[in-house]
Structure 1
Amino acid sequence: MIEISTIWNLICPRLTESELVKNLNELSMQFTVRRGDLDRYTQDEKLVAAYSAFYLPTNMPKFKFLMDQLEPKIREQISQSHFWDFGSGPGTFSLAYLDYFSRADDLKVTLVDSSKLMLSQARLFLSSLFPKRMVKYLDKLPKEIQGKKTLLFGHSFNEIGYQRAIEIIRQVDPDYLIMIEPGTKEVFSYINDLRIYMREHGYACLYPCLNLHSDCPMTSRLSDWCHGVMRMVHDPDLERLSQLIKKDRRNMPFIAHVYQKGSWQSDSDKGTEQARLVRFLNNSKFGFEVEVCLCKENDLVIEKIQLLKKDMTKEEIKKFENINVGSKLTFTVIKKFDDFIRVKLSC
């Protein structure tokens, strides 16, 4: 884990707290109100510095969570591929990748971003923190990309749009595709279109969908969409900055997908059920009630499940109270009722 103080010491130019607050408020306006002017912040060194100080350290943990949801053999294959970080910004997810796979040998990373300021900041981070790693910095993709490769869109898919993203996927032809994006309804509509494209072009979904050949059940919910929620505990200095700009980064909605070229067979225990946590409904003294997405007769459906606390250890109860929405649940069915299923978590 990279300390926030280490990140802040590498930011150039250095900004005072008041300058950080001012520039982060300006960024917020560009991200929400003035989205037509979205590219401008990547050409302003103070806005790039402010983005790096706040959004980089709060977005990095999303990568670790996502990798932890994958099976070990998949993580190993991703670490052995060439990691292409498209729309890299200041290197948020390249840093997260190098940090997560810090014990792996021969990691290869290429960052691609049209902003010279973003690439300059990324170079400062990565060359300082991982000086022995093989890292390249490009302003555009090369015409030909050889070898085994992982392509990542980290908060860039929502900026370039669906059509441009498809062009990049065709050009790179990745063995693995990773998407980590804001958890908004607008992004979900794009991601769902991408989900269909990936299915039609011979990819398997490793996260979040348990069955890519089924339609997403969340599309039928007019006021809802499929997204995860990260529950975070931040460094006190970062928490103070969050409070000053009135941005809650302790509960962060996100949308993440991972695809693999070709078919895929899980190594999970066949005697258990699997589901993706969708929403917390109730936490009483007796147990938890949550909504999950699971596969039922080859269709993905949303079901309510109940977990009794008497079947859980104190450690399991505490862990479940803090679990991230989007986590995989493995369980055995105890009893089926008309409107919910009682289950027991598997280790």
Structure 2
Amino acid sequence: MISFNKLKPALLEEMTEGEIVKCLKELSQAFTQSRHKIDDVYASPKHISSYASFYLPTNMYKMAFLLKQLPNELIEGIKNSTVVEVGTGPGTYLFGLLEELNCEMTSFIGVDHSPLMLKQAEKIHQSLYPCSDITWRSDIPKLPGRKTYIFGNSLNEMGHYTGLKLVNRNKADIVICIEPGTKSSFKEMSSFRSGMIKDGYKVIYPCSGEGECPIIKLDEDDWCHQVVRTKLDDSIERLSQLIKLDRKTMPAIIHVYTKDKVENNRKYQVVRLVKNIKHAFLWEVCFEDAGEMKLVRIELMKKIYKKKEVKALESMSTGYEIDFTIDKKIESNHWRVKLTPEVLEKIVNKK
């Protein structure tokens, strides 16, 4: 991922660390407490530069996390399409794709309503990715051929209805959504999921099928989201500490849809880390059974794992696919299981 030191020469404004910290605190307040001030901070080159210096490199980790969950044939489908990011900001997820896939032959289009964000994205593009085919614009163009659309923290702003119209009007082949990991965002994304399935799209991530979400069906006071855990570059970590904002653990709601003939072979999706008790890990997983999406609590006994394996399991996140054998069905929705060797190796080696 990009470090702050690498980004610094590509920012719109040359700023001291103190100025960046001040602007980041104001941005954080606008995002969480004073939404009416967002347009004001987006009109300031210093705030845009500060946003790019901190939120761009940390949000890029979400794209890296997602790509590890996707089948290779879908990734090839992304690389062989024109990729459009709606609400690109300073180019966050387009640059994330470039960093992870080295897809220099892919054409990209970044769309944003903020002229300063586009100006910032263009400067980073020319400074760090000068050979990449990226166009920056304020509107969504009509495009021929295969298309991948990315919604980066923009669906929750425009609403699911507008998002569905945009997808259908532009005949998207692949749709990626990376949205805030909040309860309100989950409600919006659930409506979007229902609409996408109705319009003929398959869910590739996070669900293993197109059945009704069991969290909604059971009317649980919870929401399905992923948690992206990162190890920050020292320069980003320092900014994080100065503004007292944790970016090592980032909740997000990430969905991927396609009309391509891609098989969804996902087994069990970890949706909740219930408890870490003395003798076991208690997790909740979602899976498809005869066309129905179900939730089951699983119990992993610590005594059967080595010390380094237990340590790795302690840092597990929601959003990962796992597979296991069932040792005992304690109840119909509570199983004692053993992870497959392949899954355990991936968790230990953080693949």
Gaps of 5+ in 1: 269-273
Q: 1:113 to 1:63 in 2, by over 3 A?
A: same
- Residues 250-295 of structure 1: CA distance to partner in whole angstroms, max 9, x if unpaired? 2211100000015542356xxxxx2111122233454322111122
Q: 1:319 to 1:81 in 2, by over 3 A?
A: farther
Look up the match of 1:136. Answer: 135
User: Is the counterpart of residue 303 in structure 1 residue 301 in structure 2?
Assistant: no
Aligned-residue offset at 1:54: 1.4
Contact 2:204-2:264 within 8 A present in 1 as well: no
Aligned-residue offset at 1:81: 1.2
Contact 2:86-2:154 within 8 A present in 1 as well: yes
Look up the match of 2:329. Answer: 336
Aligned-residue offset at 1:41: 2.6
Look up the match of 1:271. Answer: none
Aligned-residue offset at 1:334: 2.2
**Counterparts in 2 of 1:30-109, with a 5 A limit?**
30-102=30-102, 104=103, 106-109=105-108
User: Is the counterpart of residue 276 in structure 1 residue 273 in structure 2?
Assistant: no
Q: 1:51 to 1:190 in 2, by over 3 A?
A: same
Aligned-residue offset at 1:131: 1.5
Aligned-residue offset at 1:97: 0.6
Aligned-residue offset at 1:152: 0.1
**Counterparts in 2 of 1:284-303, with a 5 A limit?**
284=277, 286-303=279-296
- Residues 296-315 of structure 1: CA distance to partner in whole angstroms, max 9, x if unpaired? 33221221111233444555
Distance 1:80 1:29 in 2: 40
Look up the match of 2:185. Answer: 187
Letter in 2 for 1:341: W
Contact 2:227-2:319 within 8 A present in 1 as well: yes
Distance 2:29 2:161 in 1: 26
Contact 2:181-2:252 within 8 A present in 1 as well: yes
Aligned-residue offset at 1:84: 0.5
Look up the match of 2:214. Answer: 217
Question: Normalising to structure 2: TM-score of the pair?
Answer: 0.90
- Residues 78-97 of structure 1: CA distance to partner in whole angstroms, max 9, x if unpaired? 11111101110001111101
Aligned-residue offset at 1:215: 1.2
Aligned-residue offset at 1:217: 1.5
Letter in 2 for 1:86: V
Letter in 2 for 1:111: G
Secondary structure of 2:323 counterpart: strand
Letter in 2 for 1:288: F
Q: 1:183 to 1:320 in 2, by over 3 A?
A: same
Distance 2:285 2:98 in 1: 32
Identity percentage over the alignment?
37
Distance 1:44 1:249 in 2: 24
**Counterparts in 2 of 1:13-24, with a 5 A limit?**
13-24=13-24
Distance 1:293 1:19 in 2: 45
- Residues 160-210 of structure 1: CA distance to partner in whole angstroms, max 9, x if unpaired? 222332232122211000000110111111101100100100000000111
Secondary structure of 1:55 counterpart: helix
Letter in 2 for 1:276: Q
Size of the alignment, in residue pairs? 339
Look up the match of 2:151. Answer: 153
Look up the match of 1:232. Answer: 230
Q: 1:262 to 1:80 in 2, by over 3 A?
A: closer
Secondary structure of 1:137 counterpart: strand
Root-mean-square deviation (CA), in Å?
1.9
Letter in 2 for 1:65: F
Partner of residue 345 from structure 1, selected from 339, 342, 345: 339
Look up the match of 2:125. Answer: 126
Secondary structure of 2:140 counterpart: coil
Contact 1:305-1:341 within 8 A present in 2 as well: yes
Letter in 2 for 1:22: K
Gaps of 5+ in 2: 343-351
Which deviates further from its counterpart, 222-231 or 162-171? 162-171
Contact 1:42-1:117 within 8 A present in 2 as well: yes
Distance 2:68 2:303 in 1: 27
Distance 2:306 2:81 in 1: 39
Aligned-residue offset at 1:246: 2.1
Aligned-residue offset at 1:242: 1.8
Q: 1:4 to 1:323 in 2, by over 3 A?
A: farther
Which deviates further from its counterpart, 274-283 or 131-140? 274-283
Distance 1:287 1:71 in 2: 31
Distance 2:239 2:284 in 1: 33
